[in-house]
Structure 1
Amino acid sequence: MTDMNISVARLWRLAPWSGNRLMRRSDRLESLSILFVTLVLAMLIPLAGAVGTSTYTGLSDAARQVRQTNQQVPAVLLGDAPSPQTRGTGMYDRARAQWSVDGTPRTGLIDVDGEIQVGRTVDIWIDPEGNYTEPPSTGAENAFGAVGAALMFWAFGSAGCVLVLLAVHSMANRYRLRCWQREWDSLGQTRGWSLN
């Protein structure tokens, strides 16, 4: 507990408004930049939440619109196990299937989840022209995308804040080293190794 009190007191003495006469302008600028970056990082949290909410709303609206314009129809599988050229990505395989749009038969490659057997009926999504299309995203997929967008926003914002802080620290150090070098030179000492 004592160590924490000492740390808090030390941080308070390093604050930009401190009356410490040993603090230089560069020290005050650096501590002010730390305070500013801390406030920005705190503000990034609700902003990231707003980005996530906005992303979720946009994805949900897009999925709702897909459900309104597209429709689900039954399709009959025409082919067995897929060849390497028709193999899908992820958990799905692709197989040849046939479905009907207003009495007109259509055939094409569709993503199939599970066993591929000739004659098996699966439900697929088609667009208004009757072409096979991806199913609309689910609520869980939308939530996952929204959380990812919020985390990315917060991560990039935090990285930007840290880079600004590092740049200010580097400039303040260079300024302090130049000042120390001038003071060293003003003492009339023979110049040895440089502080720069």
Structure 2
Amino acid sequence: MIKSISFNQSEIINNIIRLYIPSGKIECDATFGYGGFYKEHLFPEYRFDINPRSSNVKAADCRKLPLESESLNSIIFDPPFLATKGKSLTEENGNIINKRFSVFPDEKLLHQFYTDSMKEFYRILAESGILIFKCQDKVSSGTQYLSHVFIINQAISIGFYPVDIFVLLAKSRLTAKWQLKNQRHARKFHSYFLVLKKSNKRVKYTDIMAGGENNGKI
């Protein structure tokens, strides 16, 4: 039984491959980083990063990849999820999460980055190709940002169909002391793996609510 939740990232990726990638291997990682997805999986043939950390990764912006249109069947995407210009980027006792991961200057630019990247992946993927999008919601400056909702809505408008969603549960989270003292919202202990399928037709939200295109067959 494949479940929609897990404490293990590799288990989720393996389950997505089992359900949606017949070849048994993800073809492209658009933001490879240190390759954390591949401790238990084969490296994808195409590995990109804006700042490669090893010689087997090619330098490229995920919004403009050197790949032919409709040339791949699967892409995985693990982009930044933080946005701030605050003191936490420079102060010694600032937010350790912001210092550890890539950060965009504001939410608008971060969300535009998501949209532009998905449009590029839509171009590259063949019909019925699969995009695996890892994302995380957050609270910033007292405001709730449900990023996975934004991503799904944008994906649908581009032409993707959300075929599945997996929830990765965390046993612990990096937390600054000031966050504990000033907590106003529940601390996020989960992230998402969205499974988005390229449809040969534009998918409307109303169609999905009614069972999808072609009587639910997409």
TM-score w.r.t. the length of structure 1 is 0.23
| TM-score of the pair, normalised by structure 2 | 0.22
Between 1 and 2, higher relative CO (CA 8 Å, sep ≥ 6) is seen in 1
More strand by share: 2
| Structure number with bigger Rg | 1
